[in-house]
Amino acid sequence: MTPNNTVVVTDQLESVLALSMAAFPEDKLFLVVDQNSNRFCLPLLCDTPGIEKFKKIVIPAGEENKTLSTAELIWLFLSQNGADRKSLIVNLGGGMVTDLGSFAASTFKRGVQFINIPTTLLAQVDASVGGKTGFNFNGLKNEIGVINQPIQVIIDTRFLNTLDHANFISGYAEMIKHGLIHSQDHLAELRKFDLQKPDFLVLKQMISHSVLIKNYFVEKDPQEKGIRKALNFGHTIGHAFESLSLTQEKPLLHGHAVAFGMIAELYLSHMICGFPDGNMHHLSKWLISVYGNYRITPDVYETLYEYMGHDKKNEGKRINFTLLCSAGEVQINKNCEKSQIFEALDYFRELNN
């Protein structure tokens, strides 16, 4: 299934990639992987005709390495190996690799064409779709970056067999978000899906549905000036949770932080937009059952509020939220008072305790 001309959901990855490679000179093919995707995912591409032509760089794995210094490693590798504007860069890995590799490609010699092959569920339904690139800076997620579309995103669910449960459900959180902001049918199929014994044929169809939803918002608003902000649901508070956790001993995976952010923002949706009380409680308890507990205390509220103030979608000193009137009915640019945000954090804290 091809949700649009750029995104291809396929079980014929080798032939799709080989066809794309054929449009570029053999000595201008470059591959960016991290330590994990090099070990677990690259072997799945061994039957791709011409795969040996790629010049490969292996970058350090982990969100803590999504930095300017790692981007510099990629730029140096490209420069030393003769990359130019006729080159192709293929980013094979999770969201860290696709975000950082895409940024390096977008800025090297003012732009080199690139393909993303996302290998985690999070990257397949979110990070590699929509053209966002960048890296973390000054303790803040994705603070530096540009929006630039890959020439292709190739999604193959075979890679998901390499994931542990925590990373699998991390990506699932973004799918839940897509259901909440656009499609009650998608949300219903996600709630029925067995996360303990995933059926990958069913999952492939659900990924296609989820990618279609993200593309719907991206195509309507490529530069994120308006309705694409719907995709930020759960992220204003979720990113704050994620940033806080990076200062603690156990960093949250991105999707877990977003799931927790959705709980708090469902409460804001109830207060500000009239999201039904019963639905809010049922969804919040379901999210806790999937993602477990994240315990916070009131003494971190000010820190969380400060992190929210750095969200890229804010305007001046206003903290803007994407909120829901109901599943599938979105309100963007909703400003909330500090007291309301703290009340939402109280709801989240009490639910977790």
Distance CA 273, CA 267 (A): 10
pLDDT classification of 316: cutoffs 50, 70, 90: low
Cα gap 183→178, rounded to integer Å:
7
Choosing from 141, 177, 204, 254, the catalytic residue is 254
- Predicted TM-score of the model (pTM): 0.89
Which of 138, 163, 188 lies at the terminal end of a domain, its last residue?
163
Instruction: Say yes or no: 306 and 178 in one domain.
Output: yes
> Mean of the pLDDT values across residues 255-284?
98
**Residues 246 and 126 grouped into a single domain:** no
As for how many domains the chain has, the answer is 2
pLDDT, residue 1, reads 37
Which pLDDT does position 249 carry in this prediction? 78
Q: Annotated catalytic residue: which of 28, 178, 239, 256?
A: 239
- Residues 152, 178: one domain? no
Domain contains 319: yes
The answer to whether residues 98 and 159 touch, using CB atoms and an 8 Å cutoff, is no
340 and 272 Cβ atoms separated by less than 8 Å: yes
Kindly name the residue from 141, 182, 228, 229 that is annotated as catalytic: 228
Same domain, 202 and 125: no
Query: CB neighbours of 172 closer than 8 A, spacing ≥ 6?
Result: 121, 190, 195, 255, 290
The answer to whether residue 2 is domain-embedded is no
60: CB partners within 8 A, 6+ apart = 34, 35, 70
Q: Residue 1 falls within a domain, yes or no?
A: no
313 given a catalytic annotation: no
CATH of the domain at 28: 3.40.50.1970
123 and 198 both lie in a single domain: no
Which stretch of DSSP H or E encloses residue 303? helix 301-308
pLDDT higher than 80, residue 4: no
Average pLDDT along the chain: 94
pLDDT in tens, 78-113: 999 999 999 999 999 999 999 999 999 999 999 999
Tell me how far apart the alpha carbons of residues 138 and 136 are, in angstroms, rounded to a whole number. 7
Q: With contact defined as beta carbons under 8 Å apart, do 31 and 92 qualify?
A: yes
Is 184 found in the same domain as 323?
Answer: yes
Whether 239 is catalytic is yes
Assess if residue 168 is contained within a domain.
no
Determine which one of 136, 232, 242, 320 is catalytic. Answer: 232
Same domain, 129 and 177: no
Q: How far is C-alpha 35 from the geometric centre of its chain's CA atoms? A: 19
Are 15 and 66 in a shared domain?
yes
Active site residue 282: no
Token output for 66: 């999504």
Question: Which of 163, 196, 214 is the last residue in one of the domains?
Answer: 163
Residue 33: pLDDT over 70: yes
Kindly state whether residue 85 falls inside one of the protein's structural domains. Answer: yes
Averaged pLDDT for residues 16-28: 96
Kindly tell me if the per-residue pLDDT of 26 is higher than 70.
Answer: yes
Q: What is the pLDDT of residue 248?
A: 87
Banded model confidence at residue 314, pLDDT cuts 50, 70, 90: low
Does the pLDDT of residue 266 top 60, yes or no? yes
Is the same domain home to 114 and 209? Answer: no
Residue 250 lies in a domain: yes
Whether 211 maps to a domain, the answer reads yes
At 120-132, the pLDDT tens digits run 999 999 877 789 9
Last residue of one domain, picked from the residues 113, 138, 163:
163
Q: What average pLDDT does range 167-193 have in this prediction?
A: 97
Q: Is 209 a catalytic residue?
A: no
CATH code assigned at 222: 1.20.1090.10
pLDDT of 56 > 50? The answer is yes
Least confident residue range of 28-32, 128-132, 184-188, 306-310? 128-132
Q: Is 318 a catalytic residue?
A: no
Find the Cα–Cα–Cα–Cα dihedral 259, 265, 270, 272, rounded to 10°: -160
What's the pLDDT score for residue 2?
Answer: 39
Helix segments in 108-183, DSSP class H? 121-122, 165-182
Sheet holding 55-59, edge to edge: 7-9, 152-155, 113-118, 88-93, 29-34, 55-59
Judge whether 228 counts as a catalytic residue: yes
CA distances from 305 to 9, 221, 235, 260 (A): 39, 28, 13, 15
Residues 80 and 194 in one domain: no
- The parent domain of residue 199 ranges over 173-352
Catalytic site residue 310? no
The answer to whether position 345 is within a domain reads yes
Residues 149 and 185 occupy one common structural domain: no
The helix (run of H) or strand (run of E) holding residue 72 is helix 68-80
| pLDDT (0 to 100) of residue 223 | 84
Based on the residue annotation, tell me whether 214 is a catalytic residue of this protein. yes
71 shares a domain with 182 = no
